[in-house]
Chains A and B, each alone.
Chain A
Amino acid sequence: MKILNIPNLSLIFFVGMIHLFTLQTAAAEEQDGNTSVTIIEPSKKVSRPNSATVDAEDFELGLFYGTLSVEDFATNPVKGIYLNYHITSNLSAQISYASSDVGRATFEDVVGGDFLSEKDEEFSYIQVQAGYQILHGRSFLGAKRRFNSYLYVMGGIESVQFARNDEIGFTFGTRYKLVLTDSLTLNIDLQDHIFEREFIADKKFTNNIEFAIGLNALF
């Protein structure tokens, strides 16, 4: 996005000053040719932390892993993949696919029967989501590490397959994004999957909370 941001400008300024300083001292040394004066230069190592930002990269491709709680069932790990496109600095669009092996509900164990076949016990979704950036800034880990970070509000629609249902649902949630390096970002996502599900003759809107951590490559 921006090369001429403040950390960069300051870095250029300091490098320029060092150059001028060394040039001047070199010139001074030349003039005083007879008296060999050694001017001790302070080692000005200006380590200006230049936080990684999302510059010109538009796409992010990543993998995520987390937990998904399915209504009337239990909480299980979920894993998926997503592709994110930055439309503007504030708006992004994402397409993702994930699945979670839900397994039997406890009552199925108690009753002793299988209400669902094994294939139906998998909760999978294909989702298209939009993200709107509401906060941007920096996050500090301890005293030394600085990362650019953003908070997004996410919302989208998805196609969910679970328990013999193939329904369209919608999601809403938040994302906390940390820019780790120039080509790597970390996302911490919290979202709620809402879809209408029919299971043992009960049709209702279900809420399924997901928490996931994802690692993306920027390109």
Chain B
Amino acid sequence: MPKMTLSHFEATVLFSLFTSVVLGVVTKRTDRDRLHYGIYTFGCFLVALFGLGWLMYLGHG
């Protein structure tokens, strides 16, 4: 089994991608809504990722 070494950022983006796909598929009732919700969830993950990243950076001083 090859070893995968990811940074925190890369791991979080991958995590967001897979989770968004599943949430999009299982949550909504039409394909159009599923696609929109998947993209929306992924966007929310990214906003939280960058937002919390900057917050920690600025809070750290």
User: Does A associate with B in a complex?
Assistant: no
List chain B positions with a Cβ less than 8 A from chain A: none
List chain A positions with a Cβ less than 8 A from chain B: none
